């Protein structure tokens, strides 16, 4: 059991100056209880906290660390930029063209791209563009999907909002809330119904093509293609939010994995290599409406920041050179099979969902295909499971409704250790 004396002290102090002691809600461990852990250092697949405990990390900064923390090439590239280029200019820099060109090459839907500073900025901007382009106000999202904390998305949202029981947030005006319609994930009829009821008024359908903020929920075969067809028929802009699954489930994202091309794509996490980044892009005829070329305004003091672009570019280059995806799939299969064996041994029938190196063990026997089935999970049992893993030095997301991420630096020995810990934690979860 790790000693968390210093973490506890820091958390007490933080609460005086920072709301809830944290700068992003799920970090506070509210749904699993206990003391949030203050990390002091990350290296590869391991984290060390301020009390000197080490953990095998499956959060990976919530997705960016597909190559682990402090990858030597990324660190070296950052050092070079810091010493030889600078931290910010507020002018165009050559690196911006390099990353834009590379992203357009890698992601099927991209003909033009704009860099921003977070996933939230990317989704807010993409929706504004879709509204500007179509001249329509309403958008359709899916219950339990999370697209950042923009006002339009905090209606039946996933991630921290769901974990903390606040999927609808005060502060979002009625007008904004009215323009966001929620459909059921993996249910095309629910989408058609909303489209028919709001004929000619839907600007965009935004979806996580692999849902990762209600735990992990893969899109059923044909669902994304059906959305594509519907959007084409109705003149609706289809937005894939690939902030989490982009460059994670495949280099070209879920859109290359499933062969469905959206009109706009939002990105983040991995393309920042651990620094704050987001991006949105898509078809030229849409992206040409962005200022200064077009009339839809979007801007950012630090957008295209040299340090963030350096970390992102180096990450993308490594992913292209090393193609870690087959190896990530192999490792994820080992974890999935190991967890399955453990469940079987214990006579438990919990559901596991996985796409590539994104996975989730749900504490429910109901197949999880949407928000409604995800919330049948027993979050109390998950909390016990989480703490038992933590006690055994395994750091997973402090919420049932988040993904477990495997990175290229997890070794087979790490996986074996995790499978053993999973067995013990499953036992604890039943107490
Ligand atoms: N979209 C998705 C699919 C996400 O998973 C997230 C963050 N978890 C966001 C958008 C928001 O990104 P950020 O936290 O960088 O604003």
What ligand 1 atom has the least distance to the C-alpha of 148?
11
Region 242-257: mean pLDDT is: 98
373 and 284 both lie in a single domain:
no
**Residue 352 pLDDT > 70, yes or no?**
yes
- Identify the sign of the CA torsion 60, 66, 72, 77: negative
163 and 232, same domain (yes or no): yes
Neighbours of 104 (CB within 10 A): 15
For the residues 340-369, what does the mean pLDDT come to? 98
Q: Which of 322, 340, 373 is the last residue of a domain?
A: 322
Structure tokens at 119: 């996933």
**Which string of b and e fits 35-64 if b means at least 16 CB within 10 Å?**
bbbbbeebebbbbebbbebebbbbbbbbbb
pLDDT at 163 over 90: no
The pLDDT tens digits for 5-16 are 999 999 999 999
Say what the pLDDT of residue 169 is.
82
- Of the chain, the percentage scoring pLDDT greater than 90 comes to 94
In degrees rounded to 5, what are phi and psi of residue 353?
-115, 145
Give how many domains the chain has, as a whole number: 2
What would the mean pLDDT of 350-372 be, rounded to a whole number? Answer: 98
List residues near ligand 1 (CB under 6 A).
Answer: 62, 118-120, 123, 146-148, 159, 208, 212-213, 241, 243-244, 268, 278
Same domain, 208 and 254: yes
Residue 141 and residue 253 in one domain: yes
- Report whether pLDDT(370) > 90: yes
248 near 66, Cβ under 8 Å? yes
State mean pLDDT over 223-245. Answer: 98
Same domain, 78 and 122: yes
Can you tell me the mean pLDDT for 119-140? 98
ipTM of the complex: 0.99
**Domain region containing 53:** 5-66+329-429
What average pLDDT does the chain have?
96
pLDDT at 23: 97
- Cβ atoms within 10 Å, residue 346: 14
pTM assigned to the model = 0.97
Tell the burial category of 281 from Cβ atoms under 10 Å away from its Cβ (0-12, 13-18, 19+): buried
pLDDT at 397 over 80: yes
140 contact partners, CB below 8 Å, separation of at least 6: 181, 182, 183, 191, 194, 195, 202, 204, 205, 206, 236
The pLDDT of residue 121 is above 80: yes
Last residue of a domain, one of 279, 307, 322: 322
Examine the pLDDT at 223 and tell me if it is beyond 90: yes
State the DSSP string of 129-147: HHHHHHT--EEEEETT---
In angstroms, what is the C-alpha Rg of the chain? 21
On the question of pLDDT at 273 being above 90, the answer is yes
Sheet bearing 358-362, strands edge to edge: 351-355, 358-362, 404-405
What's residue 400's pLDDT? 96
Helix axes 412-429, 325-345, angle to 10 degrees: 30
Asked if 61 and 84 sit in the same domain, the reply is no
| Ligand 1 mutation target, pool 23, 118, 144, 147, most atoms within 8 A of CB | 147
Nearest CA-CA partner of 429 in 367, 366, 383: 383
388 vs 394: CA distance, rounded Å: 9
Which sequence positions are flagged as catalytic? 146, 241, 269
Two tokens, residue 13: 């102090």
By percentage, how much of the chain surpasses pLDDT 70?
99
Are 279 and 390 contained in the same domain? no
Does residue 166 surpass a pLDDT of 80? no
User: 265 CA distance to ligand 1 centroid (A)?
Assistant: 13
- Please write down the HEC assignment for all residues of 268-334: EHHHHCCCCCEEEEECHHHHCCECCCCCECCCCCCCCCHHHHHHHHHHHHHHHHHCCHHHHHHHHHH
pLDDT at 158 over 80: no
Q: For residue 160, is pLDDT > 70? A: yes
User: What sign does the dihedral 327-344-417-254 (CA atoms) show?
Assistant: positive
CA distance 186 to 220: 6
**Residue 343 Cα to ligand 1 middle (Å):** 31
No. of helices (H) and no. of strands (E), the chain: 15, 16
- What is residue 205's predicted lDDT score, i.e. its pLDDT? 98
The last residue of one of the domains, among 282, 303, 322, is 322
pLDDT grade, residue 168 (50/70/90)?
confident
Residue 138's φ and ψ, nearest 5 degrees, are -85, 150
Residues 52 and 110 in one domain: no
Say whether both 306 and 389 belong to one domain.
Answer: no
pLDDT at position 31 over 70: yes
Are 274 and 358 members of one domain?
no
Mean pLDDT to the nearest integer, 302-329 = 98
| Integer CA distances (angstroms), 377 to 157, 168, 271, in order | 17, 20, 32
Check which CATH number belongs to the domain holding 297 and give it: 3.40.640.10
Ligand 1 atom 7: residue of nearest CA: 148
If pLDDT is split at 50, 70 and 90, which confidence band does 165 have?
A: low
* Residue the block writes with tokens 């429910």: 364
Query: Is residue 245 located within the same domain as residue 166?
Result: yes
Q: Give the CATH number for residue 40.
A: 3.90.1150.10
Average pLDDT on 246-272 reads 98
pLDDT digits over 40-73, tens only? 999 999 999 999 999 999 999 999 999 999 999 9
> Which residue's CA is the nearest one to ligand 1's atom 12?
119
Centre of ligand 1 from the C-alpha of residue 194, in Å: 25
pLDDT digits (tens, 9 = 90+) for 224-234: 999 999 999 99
Question: What is the pLDDT averaged over residues 351-366?
Answer: 98
Beta carbons within 10 angstroms of residue 198's beta carbon: 16
Structure tokens at 174: 């009625």
CA of 420 to the centre of ligand 1 (A): 31
pLDDT of residue 167: 66
Closest CA to 369 of 220, 245, 167, 234: 220
44 and 83: one domain? no
């Amino acid at each position: 059991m790790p000693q968390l004396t210093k973490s506890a002290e820091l958390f007490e102090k933080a609460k005086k100056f920072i709301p809830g002691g944290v700068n992003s809600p799920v970090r506070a461990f509210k749904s699993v209880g206990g003391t949030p852990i203050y990390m002091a250092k990350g290296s590869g697949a391991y984290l060390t906290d301020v009390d000197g405990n080490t953990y095998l990390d499956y959060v990976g900064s919530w997705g960016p660390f597909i190559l682990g923390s402090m990858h030597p090439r990324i660190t070296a590239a950052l050092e070079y930029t810091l010493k030889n280029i600078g931290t910010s200019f507020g002018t165009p820099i050559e690196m911006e063209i390099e990353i834009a060109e590379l992203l357009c090459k890698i992601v099927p839907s991209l003909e033009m791209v704009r860099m921003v500073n977070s996933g939230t900025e990317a989704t807010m901007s993409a929706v504004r563009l879709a509204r500007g382009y179509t001249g329509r106000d309403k958008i359709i999202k899916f219950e339990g999907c999370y697209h950042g904390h923009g006002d339009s998305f905090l209606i039946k949202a996933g991630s921290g909002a769901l974990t903390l029981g606040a999927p609808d947030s005060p502060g979002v005006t009625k007008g904004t809330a009215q323009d966001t319609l929620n459909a059921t994930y993996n249910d095309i009829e629910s989408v058609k119904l909303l489209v028919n009821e709001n004929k000619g008024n839907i600007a965009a359908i935004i979806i996580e093509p692999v849902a990762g903020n209600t735990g992990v929920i893969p899109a059923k075969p044909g669902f994304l293609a059906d959305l594509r067809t519907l959007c084409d028929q109705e003149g609706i802009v289809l937005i894939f939010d690939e902030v989490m699954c982009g460059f994670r489930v495949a280099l070209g994202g879920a859109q290359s994995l499933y062969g469905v091309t959206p009109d706009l794509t939002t990105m983040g996490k991995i393309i920042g290599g651990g620094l704050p980044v987001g991006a949105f892009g898509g078809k030229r005829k849409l992206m040409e409406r962005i200022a200064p070329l077009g009339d839809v305004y979007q801007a950012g003091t630090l957008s295209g920041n040299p340090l963030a672009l350096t970390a992102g570019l180096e990450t993308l280059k490594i992913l292209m050179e090393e193609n870690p995806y087959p190896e990530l799939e192999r490792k994820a299969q080992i974890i999935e099979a190991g967890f399955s064996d453990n469940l079987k041994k214990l006579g438990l029938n919990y559901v596991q969902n996985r796409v590539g190196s994104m996975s989730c063990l749900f504490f429910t026997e109901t197949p999880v295909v949407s928000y409604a089935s995800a919330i049948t999970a027993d979050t109390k049992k998950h909390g016990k499971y989480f703490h038992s893993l933590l006690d055994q030095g395994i750091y997973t997301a402090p919420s049932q409704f988040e993904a477990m991420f495997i990175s290229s630096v997890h070794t087979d020995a790490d996986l074996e250790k995790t499978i053993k810990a999973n067995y013990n934690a499953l036992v604890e979860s039943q107490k």
